Each structure stands twice: as C-alpha cells, then as structure tokens.
Amino acid sequence: MIRLLKCEYLKTRHCFIFPTAFAITAICLCWCLYGDVDDEIIKYGWRMFLYQFPLVNAIFLPLLSMVIASRLCNLEHKGKMQKLLCCMEKRGKLFDAKLLYGLGIITVCVVLMWAVTVIFGVVNRFLGPFPIKLYLLYFIFTLIPTVVIYIFQHTLSMLFKNQAIAFFTGIIGEFIGIFSMFLPSLPFLRRMVLWGYYGVLQFVGLFGWTKESRYENAYFDLMPIDWTFFCVLICAGILLYLIGRYLFCKKEV
C-alpha cells in the first residue's frame, strides 16, 4: 500500500492538486474570517464560530471533495491508464490507495481550517477560556461528514469516465444540503442526504436574536447532539465504501 501511495504522489505532483486544495481552503478561511473584529465577535466569538461555520463547511468542503476526487481519478481515465494499472495490481488495492491518498489531502485541509480558526480566536483574544472539548467535537463533526462525502465522490469518479456525472451529482446534493440547513422545522430533510449532516451535527444554536435588537438579548447555547444519526453517518460511509469498492472491482475497464 505504501508503494501505491507513493505512486499516487508521483503521478499527481505536477497536476497542481495540492495547490488547488489549499486554494479552496484559503478561500473558505477568507470567507469566514475576513472583516473587522468588533465587540460582538470578541464577546461571543468562540460559540459564534461553532454556530456559523457548519454552514460554511457545507458550502466549501463538499466542493473540495468533488474537485480532489475528480482530479485524482481523471488521471486514470485519460489514455486508458486505468486498464493498464488493473493488469499490474489488484483493483481493490488501486481503489483503496487512491481513496486513502485523497482522504489524506482532505484531512490536511480540514485540520488546517480548524487550526487557523483556533489561532484566530486566540490572537483576537475572544472572551472566556478556549472551549477545547467543544472544538474537538466540532472538528470530528466536520471531518466525518467530509470523509463520507469524499468516499461517495471518489466512487462516482472512479466508476464514470465522464467526470461531469460526479460533479453534477455532488452539486445537486450540496444544494439540497445547504437548503436543508435553512429549514430547521424539517430536520428529516437534512438527515436524508450526506451533505445535510453538517447541519444535523451542529450543536450550538442562536437564541433571542431579532432584526431590531440584534445581539442585545441574544445568546448562544448548546443543543443536544444527535449521536444516533452520527452513527448512521458512519455506517453509511462504511456501506458506501464497500459498495463502491465492489462495483469498481466488477467494472469493465
């Protein structure tokens, strides 16, 4: 497996995959952190980020997954390289190696986003101690949905030569996921799609905010964590991996 991972690196080192991933990550961070740091942000900053960032993650991280999966898998579709590789190595190992390589890039980007967010709060001296337990939960609830979405996108990109299929499916799913986060009265909608689990696993809510008074009577508070559907998401990821690997092994190249 280490040999296959090294091969993936050698194949992609001149394809600008890492700069592309970091560029998307940088745009996401600029979207989140750009602007003046006023008294409201300093006062509510730690929990405000936990409330606002799941929506931003639902926009950028599925996009990151689509781009990386498509770029990695498109290398094999060009020039029928996939057929040649399948003659030299077992298909299951090829599927796993490319998946692990892509997940490594995705994980690095998520860790980078998390670390920059924490550093931003510390540098700007947000009030109160750093809630490390809450931010570790936030990290897990950001990484796991992204991993599952990447497994799905990876499977589509490996199975279909036309990467527009994977992109179109991912964009539709992302749109439904984002739309579901604006409909808290319909929790079943966000639970139906992988892209909605950034909202399902959101555990900080804003209460008492109005257009007139804004944050004067508002406060951020913890909400119950939906552990049941967290387990459902993990099971869905395992199932998607097994199905995707099986289909790829049976696919004619």
Kindly list the domain boundaries of the chain, sorted by start residue.
2-30+37-250
Q: 162-201, pLDDT tens digit by residue?
A: 888 999 999 999 999 998 888 877 778 888 899 999 989 9
Residue by residue, DSSP assigns 73-127 as HHHHHGGGHHHHHHHHS-HHHHHHHHHHHHHHHHHHHHHHHHHHHHHHHHHTT-S
More confident residue, 63 or 212: 63
Poorest-pLDDT segment among 9-18, 83-92, 163-172, 242-251: 83-92
Residue 77 has pLDDT above 70, yes or no: no
Confidence (pLDDT) at 221: 84
CA atoms within 13 A on the CB side of 202: 30
Instruction: Identify the band that residue 233 occupies on the pLDDT scale cut at 50, 70 and 90.
Output: very high
Q: Above pLDDT 90, what percent of the chain? A: 44
Confidence (pLDDT) at 82: 63
Q: d(Cα 69, Cα 105) in Å, to the nearest integer?
A: 10
Q: Once rounded to an integer, what is the mean pLDDT over residues 128-139? A: 92
Q: Where are the alpha helices (DSSP H) in 124-208?
A: 132-159, 163-181, 187-192, 197-200
> How high is the mean pLDDT of the chain?
86
Q: 16: left (phi > 0), else alpha (psi -120 to 50), else beta? A: left
Confidence (pLDDT) at 85: 63
For residue 248, give the amino acid letter: F
Residues 6+ apart with CB under 8 A from 71: 12, 15, 17, 20
Confidence (pLDDT) at 44: 77
Q: 57-75, pLDDT tens digit by residue?
A: 999 999 999 999 988 887 7
> For residues 70 and 166, is the Cβ–Cβ distance under 8 A?
yes
Q: d(Cα 56, Cα 49) in Å, to the nearest integer?
A: 10
Q: d(Cα 216, Cα 238) in Å, to the nearest integer?
A: 45
Q: d(Cα 82, Cα 68) in Å, to the nearest integer?
A: 18
CA 174 and chain centroid, separation? 11
- What are the backbone dihedrals phi and psi of residue 65, each rounded to the nearest 5 degrees, phi first? -65, -45
Q: d(Cα 71, Cα 180) in Å, to the nearest integer?
A: 28
Confidence (pLDDT) at 6: 75
Q: Once rounded to an integer, what is the mean pLDDT over residues 33-43? A: 77
Extract the tokens encoding 161. Answer: 């030569």
Instruction: Identify the band that residue 252 occupies on the pLDDT scale cut at 50, 70 and 90.
Output: low
The gap between the terminal CA atoms of the chain, to the nearest Å, is 22
